[in-house]
Structures are given as structure tokens and as C-alpha cells.
Structure 1
């Protein structure tokens, strides 16, 4: 195991690596995991910034003004909205508070410990990163340090370098469309997975990634709670399996974002495990799919990123 301070695409970073994985963290930019290289294939798993450099973000700004790459933590919302419960009369920033602010980072033995506090909302958030051969272990903790229950959405926002051979592998039967789509139609439409009929009645594969030239995006969720705390993508022309493992009792929802050139002309995909459904606290309240973090309550969960060779 090796940990070193580096400069990565213009920002101070920390590199954590072993024989299988090289990971780069940017403490001042929301503790973003900016790079994740699978060494046996010399393959960069994560989408990289289009301009090949980073700019420090301003708190409360629109997420799309900056790089849309790597792994960010979304909390306490994804979409911008007004907080719809008692206790706070605040706007919840686009993609939450954490991606745009610096975190405190400590190195303890072979583990990187990242901590931060909310700005408009009172909570402490922690993510610990450790490598175990071909597995990246992310252990999370959030604690409500305010005087009112806190309703917050957490989502894992990991943009990966997909290609036209990539496949979405989830053990589910149906999905709900959550963005207006030329394929899946209106928000709220339910479609079968992995194959369905599009708005014109033609068969389409929900589990495939189209080419960048389609110039469109898709966003859907597994319809209801996941059957299994596992979701995977094939990458590097089906040579690499990118698998997420998570506790379905604590993280029961899963979103999928596909950008086929329709957003900023970029090409990427994300599997987004989440504790609530879906994308904003206002919508989650409407569906009754969000639970409070009580005063002084602490919640813990994990994400394992497993990188496996495919024959």
C-alpha cells in the first residue's frame, strides 16, 4: 500500500494505490475521487474532466458549471429544491452541499478519512476509503447535530467511462423513468428491464449504452426498492466488471444516469445507489420514500467498488 501527496490536473491531491488500483482524491473539491485506475488493464474507470483540469467550485452554484466527472457525494439532495419540512427554511443547493466545499482529510495507517460539516443544514458527514486488493471500500457516517430531524437524500454520484459495448447488470424486472425521454416517454412511466417497448412500440434494450452521437440523456430508477444490494456495469469493451455492493436495508434505491452526448457533449454513465426516492427531498416527500435522521442520530452504511476481470 502506498499513499502520497500529488498534484492532479491542477489541484492538490492524494494518491492511494496497491498492486491492483490507483485512486486519486481531491480534498478541496468535495473530496472527489477523481481517478480510479485498474492497473492490470491500465484502464481509467472514471469519467475525466472535459477540459483536463479542475476549477474550485463556489458553494451553492449549479453543478453543471464545473467538471462533471469522477465520484462525488450527493447530500442532502440531488436536484435543487426548498427544504419541505419544519426545522429549516432553506434552499437545498443543486446536487447538495458536499461536492463544492473542501473536506478535512487525514491519513491513518492505510486508510483515508474524509470529514465535513453541512453549511445550511446541521450534520457531520464522514467517508473512509481503504483498498483491499481489487476492492475500494467506502465506509460512510452521517450524524444530525442540529435541533430538528433532518430529511436528506444521499446518492453515490460516480460517473464512469462507459462505451458502446457497456452493459447494465442489475437483478431487476422494471424501472421508472424520471426524466422526460424520447425513448421512455413521460416521467413516472414504468418499463420492463432489461428489454421494453419505446414510445413508438419498438423493442429497445434498457441495459445498453448507445453511442455519443445520439446526443441524449436518460435517467431512471429501479421501480421500488432493489431486490439485491448489487449493481454492475461492464467497461473497457467488456473486459472489466465494475460492481457496486451496498446494504439494501439502508440503501434501498438505485438510479441510473446515461449521458450519450446529450449533456455538455460528454459521454458517461453512473450507477447511483441512494437512501431515498428520488432526486429531490420534495419529490421523496411526495412519494413517502424518505426517512428522517433524528436529532443526535447517526447512520452508517458502505459502498464496495469491486473491479473484476472479464474473460
Structure 2
């Protein structure tokens, strides 16, 4: 099967995943029975342009951000490259290389930099769990060294009281941005990132905040955080526990290959302006602990990766969905303390 016009659906038991090759290879739906696990569209699905803001689109589901999350200008051996908001790939059609009942492989090319991403997905069922295995392969199609940064962008729907669980050795997170500066602001003059404690921290006004608990949709919260930048991650995973629907979603990744985890907490705080808002949590395995490919790290170290001409880089990622009862959740919380 080849092409990029028709949606692709893969299934395993009661779990179904829908991909939209024509709209950036988006995973538009991930369902278990009648439960949709991803953020629903804020606007109708429509073709994207190379310059539109991410907030001008549907801002839903699961996209891939490459070669940057934030819009930026990057100096390369071939001159200055402009990378648009949330990167290139959510804007362009993807080619379906193959698809079956339980698997699909799609491919797309960036336009700001000569990069090609291939993503393979296999969905399986084991007992009362489902596993989505993803394999990414990135190739430099150009004749010069190319900088890049990748971030997964899965927007998972949540309800107030749902819980985010991180590995026990994560005690602090860097703040990339916080709506209304509720967590404070970074010292941009010193290029010093703002760090907050996890899971319980203090707001900019001194009140206590449990970052691990999803807030109400009218709270106006929109925080982008990063794990792994202060203390390297020894374990690569993040869970979202949803007791109201009896499911736990766990993202797993290999920290030696994608060493950071972005965490987007949005409970009505984005997009800015009138209209529907995101109510979601996005655990985002990534190659950099910042959103901009142009941003430097400590002592001007570049966070970006480099691919030489013809070079290919591969990495895995996995999503597991478990049915779980409240008693088991309580036992898990005790084991993570």
C-alpha cells in the first residue's frame, strides 16, 4: 500500500489507532473501546501551510516535531535556515510505505533542512494491555552537516485529578515556559533556566502546587517543563494514570538515545485568545531539553544534534496502555515513593 491521501487504521483487540498521512502523518485517534485517549481537534482538520502557527491548526492528536519545536533561525554550512513553529513535518503529506491490520510505516521530508524521517508503528495486545512500538529513522539527504532536534508531540486527554508519574530519581524540572508566569521566569540575561521541584513545588506567588495532578479545565494552566536537563535520566518513562476510565498510559524511551523528557501540562491555558483550549498532558521524549534548535546550552554548548551527509540515526519509543484498578494504583504510588 502506498500513497498519502487515505487515513490508515491499525488495530489490536479493542485498541485502534488512526493515522492521517495527508495531514502530517498525525496520529489523530487512539481509542480503547469507546474511550478516546488523545486531545480532540480544537479546529477542523484543514491543509497546512509552511508558515502558519501551530495554534492556527487543529492542535490535537499526536504529531512529530522536527527539526525544532520552536520557530527559529539556524545557521548551517549552506546558510541561514528558517524552521517554522513546531517544525516542518506536521505541515507536509507523509508517504505510506506499507500498512497492515496492526502496523504501518510512513515517511516524510523536511523542507527547512534536508532531513527525512521514517516512522514505523506496530500495535499489539497482551492480556489486558496494549503496546504501540515505534521506531524512528532520520537521514540527512543533503550534501552538508545538518543540525536537528526531535520531539514527540503526543497530546493525551486528561481529567482533573488524573496523575502524572515520573521515575523516582526525578526531583526537579527545568521550566521552558509557564502561562501567566505561575512558576516564575528564567533569567534570560544569564541564560539560566528556571528550575522547580517535582512533584510538589511553589508558584510564583508562594502557594503550593502539586504538578503531578491534572487541574480543572478552567484553571488557565499551560506549563512546558523538561526532565533530564538537571540530572540525567537513568530511566526513560512517564505514566498518566486515569482512574475515572480505569486506564494507565505509559510512554517509554531509551535515555541513551533520546535523553530528555518534555512535559506539557495544559489545563485551559493555551491557545491564547478566544476559542477552545487544550485539556491535555503531553509526555514528550526528545533529543534536547529546550524547544528551540537555535538555543545554546551551558557555556554555549549547542543542544542540537548533527547529521553528516548520508548519515542515519535511529531510536525507539513505546506506548503501553494498561487497564488498572484503583487498588493497584495505590500500590504503585507506594512503590514509587
Do they fold alike, i.e. is TM over 0.5? Answer: yes
**CA root-mean-square deviation:** 1.9
Partner residue in 1 for 2:304: 290
| 1:225-264 equivalence runs, <5 A | 225-235=232-242, 237=244, 239-264=246-271
Partner residue in 2 for 1:204: 209
Provide the secondary structure at the position in 2 that maps to 1:262: coil
Q: 1:165 to 1:287 in 2, by over 3 A?
A: farther
Alpha carbons 1:163, 1:236 under 8 Å: kept: no
Once residues 25 and 192 of structure 1 are traced to their aligned partners in structure 2, the CA distance between those partners, rounded to angstroms, is: 37
Once residues 207 and 248 of structure 1 are traced to their aligned partners in structure 2, the CA distance between those partners, rounded to angstroms, is: 21
Q: 1:155 to 1:120 in 2, by over 3 A?
A: same
Shift of 1:179: 0.8
Once residues 207 and 223 of structure 1 are traced to their aligned partners in structure 2, the CA distance between those partners, rounded to angstroms, is: 17
Partner residue in 2 for 1:274: 286
| 1:158-237 equivalence runs, <5 A | 158-171=154-167, 172-181=170-179, 182-187=181-186, 188-224=193-229, 225-235=232-242, 237=244
Q: Which runs of 5+ in 2 are unaligned?
A: 187-192, 272-276, 326-337
Once residues 37 and 108 of structure 1 are traced to their aligned partners in structure 2, the CA distance between those partners, rounded to angstroms, is: 19
| 1:109-148 equivalence runs, <5 A | 109=100, 110-133=102-125, 134-148=130-144
Q: 1:284 to 1:58 in 2, by over 3 A?
A: same
Moved over 6 A (4+): none
Alpha carbons 1:161, 1:267 under 8 Å: kept: yes
Q: Which runs of 5+ in 1 are unaligned?
A: 6-10
- In the superposition, the TM-score normalised over structure 1's length comes to 0.91
Alpha carbons 2:165, 2:212 under 8 Å: kept: yes
Shift of 1:233: 0.9
Provide the secondary structure at the position in 2 that maps to 1:280: coil
Q: 1:72 to 1:236 in 2, by over 3 A?
A: farther
Alpha carbons 2:227, 2:289 under 8 Å: kept: no
Alpha carbons 1:35, 1:46 under 8 Å: kept: yes
Once residues 287 and 44 of structure 1 are traced to their aligned partners in structure 2, the CA distance between those partners, rounded to angstroms, is: 41
Matched residue count: 300
Q: 1:82-122 CA deviation, whole Å, 9 max, x = no partner?
A: 01343341211111100010010032554211011221311
Alpha carbons 2:262, 2:285 under 8 Å: kept: yes
Shift of 1:266: 2.7
Once residues 131 and 140 of structure 2 are traced to their aligned partners in structure 1, the CA distance between those partners, rounded to angstroms, is: 30
Is 1:300 equivalent to 2:310 in the alignment? no
Partner residue in 2 for 1:104: 95
Q: 1:194 to 1:144 in 2, by over 3 A?
A: same
After TM superposition, the structure 1 stretch with the greater mean CA deviation from structure 2, 106-115 or 192-201, is 106-115
Once residues 88 and 196 of structure 2 are traced to their aligned partners in structure 1, the CA distance between those partners, rounded to angstroms, is: 32
Shift of 1:24: 0.5
